[in-house]
Structure 1
Amino acid sequence: MVKPTTYHIALGSNKGDKFKNLQHAVDAIHERIGNIKLISKVYKSPALGFDTEVSAEDFLNCCLVLESYLEPQEVLEALLDIETALGRIRTNKNTYEARTIDLDIVFAEAKIINTKTLKVPHPEMSKRKFVLLPLNDIASKVKHPKFDKKVSVLLEECDDDSVLEPIKIWLKNPSKQCDVSKYNYIAIEGNIGAGKTSLATKIAHDFNAKLILERFADNPFLPKFYEDANRYAFTLEMSFLADRYQQISEDLSQLDLFKDFIVSDYDIFKSLIFSKITLNEDEFNLYRKLFYLMYKDLRKPDLYVYLYQSTTQLQENIKKRGRDYEQNIDDDYLEKINAGYLEFLKTQKDFNVKIIDVSDRDFVENRADYLWVLGEVFGE
């Protein structure tokens, strides 16, 4: 999965309800662009560069750290759209004007961009204390890719003698609104191609969780099973059971003091669901005995999330990810797996289960869909 880019964004407002303008901008950035990791203090700063004949109110300024899968030009376009939505009107005048909101990309990691519409790092940032001071709150050790100097050094060297005053109200970070503290271990499950690995990976990254991913790609019997299911079904299911038991036992027992919780893209109970479909009756009865001997000693998830996808959407996802051995999976097989999961979940009285229909949601490419899924996972 592609890693997001880390951006540093400067925000300012000197018109209307300035603090509310900043909060609305933060909320819109979260909804449209990406995950907000940190927000600086808000500072009151004098309006610089305005026509002396024009009386300009002081600014409120802050900076934030943003992670986004969008490219820099896409981030710029989204920021401009947010400015417009919040009431900013740009004119062709060559003077500074009061604005409800001003949003600028300061850094895009170590990228150096020089186009007609976008220049990164921001060419004026090293001269502006109202950018450097809040930026220093959240990125003091980040280096300017052109000057090779840390933000803290740029602040010390800045000639701007403006006096900035921190206000005593903090902006709320909408990325922190999901209450993940009630769960220590979440299992994300679903059919083949449902997106469980993608969702578990995104949640782990955004919410500082330890990620456990099933090592299915290492199983040498999987391609053989898709070629000759009758011959390799029992061998495949036994190898999966052994691998899943070993992996989940080891990973759940290894504490990580720097992570807030655990999220996995499977639960070992899937072994019983798949084996009931693939094995004959005698093989399944033997397999079930072995399964429960192993399963009774394992830690159970605090939340079991099942991603439901329609068969049509599953097939599209499978084709899109392009694994050769999966390309000829029958609809009937996928439907049996869905039915097996749903039957299992209905009978689990001790499980905290959430079934989420994501058939019409693309939570990998569409941030609004991803935020909707988070609301379903972590909401009441």
Structure 2
Amino acid sequence: MTGSPLNGSPKPLLAQARHIVVEGPIGAGKTTLARRLAAHLQARPLIEDPDANPFLGRFYQDRHRYALPTQLHFLLKRHEQLAALQEHLLPAEATPVVCDFLAEKDALFARLNLDDDELALYQRIRQQAPLPELAPDLVIFLQAAPENLIARVRRRASANERTVDDTYLVRLADAYSHFAYHYDACPVMIVNSDNLNFADRDDDFHLLLERLATQRSHREFFNLGG
């Protein structure tokens, strides 16, 4: 299933992209795929490293109490990462970059986790110190059924993420599905990863590469039936 042609260009989007983002909820496999894609493309990986946030473990234990400092730490880190990325991409000959996060995800998590007063404060801070505007050339959204995300988190997530309760993961998966559906800042490939394992199966990774190599439309979908 494909969308309408983008600017009539016959050239695959992956071949033109200098800034690629892999996104998805916890357990979708975005960091694994971002690293593999960067290695394959001889690109520079830019990885979020959420466990470097000193508030994250406490947030998963008590989300109401630690949501705001957790969110503000991520926001400041995002400023640093995007400013550095913007500078890196200035030369036309710069090495392509593959990231495992979108700047817009911060607002998604803020709406999900902050109460009204905290959200208003967070939004004021973002307005006073806006993130660098840096739309990617291509976004790969990974999706999966909540039960599969939960199973993956319980099996192989970080120590912090393994403490996340199932209800939160379901809410997060729903929020990401809505986010992906409405995201329109650049071309998008939406990937149903229920039957794909980019960590352990090379064939799955190469199937995705083949699909990406043919993408020429603004919004396309990859779904490997099981």
TM-score band (shorter)? Answer: 0.7 to 0.9
Residue 104 (structure 2) aligned to one of 269, 280, 283: 269
Q: CA contact under 8 A between 1:187 and 1:304: conserved in structure 2?
A: yes
Is 2:55 the counterpart of 1:206?
Answer: no
Equivalent in the alignment of 1:331: 166
Equivalent in the alignment of 1:354: 189
Give the Cα–Cα distance (whole angstroms) in 2 for the partners of residues 215 and 203 of structure 1: 17
Where relative contact order (Cα < 8 A, 6+ residues apart) is larger, the structure is: 2
Equivalent in the alignment of 1:22: none
Equivalent in the alignment of 1:98: none
Q: CA contact under 8 A between 1:363 and 1:373: conserved in structure 2?
A: no
Equivalent in the alignment of 1:320: 155
Q: TM-score under structure 2 normalisation? A: 0.81
Q: CA contact under 8 A between 1:200 and 1:264: conserved in structure 2?
A: yes
Is 2:211 the counterpart of 1:373?
Answer: no
What amino acid is the match of 2:53? N
Structure 1 residue 223, shift from structure 2 partner: 0.5
SS of 2:135's partner is coil
Give the Cα–Cα distance (whole angstroms) in 1 for the partners of residues 214 and 127 of structure 2: 32
Give the Cα–Cα distance (whole angstroms) in 2 for the partners of residues 287 and 231 of structure 1: 15
What amino acid is the match of 1:197? T
Q: What residue ranges of structure 2 are gaps of 5+ in the alignment?
A: 1-11, 216-226
Q: TM-score under structure 1 normalisation? A: 0.50
Q: What residue ranges of structure 1 are gaps of 5+ in the alignment?
A: 1-177
- Quickly say closer, same or farther: Cα 1:295–1:360, change in 2 above 3 A: farther
Residue 31 (structure 2) aligned to one of 194, 197, 204: 197
Question: Alignment RMSD, CA only?
Answer: 2.3
Give the Cα–Cα distance (whole angstroms) in 2 for the partners of residues 372 and 249 of structure 1: 33
Is 2:171 the counterpart of 1:341?
Answer: no
Equivalent in the alignment of 1:236: 70
- Quickly say closer, same or farther: Cα 1:324–1:343, change in 2 above 3 A: same
SS of 2:15's partner is coil
- Quickly say closer, same or farther: Cα 1:273–1:322, change in 2 above 3 A: closer
Q: CA contact under 8 A between 2:82 and 2:132: conserved in structure 1?
A: no
**CA shift digits 1:135-174 (9 cap, x unpaired):** xxxxxxxxxxxxxxxxxxxxxxxxxxxxxxxxxxxxxxxx
Q: How does 1:241-320 map to 2 (within 5 A)?
A: 241-255=75-89, 260-295=95-130, 297-320=132-155
SS of 1:181's partner is helix
Identity value in percent: 28
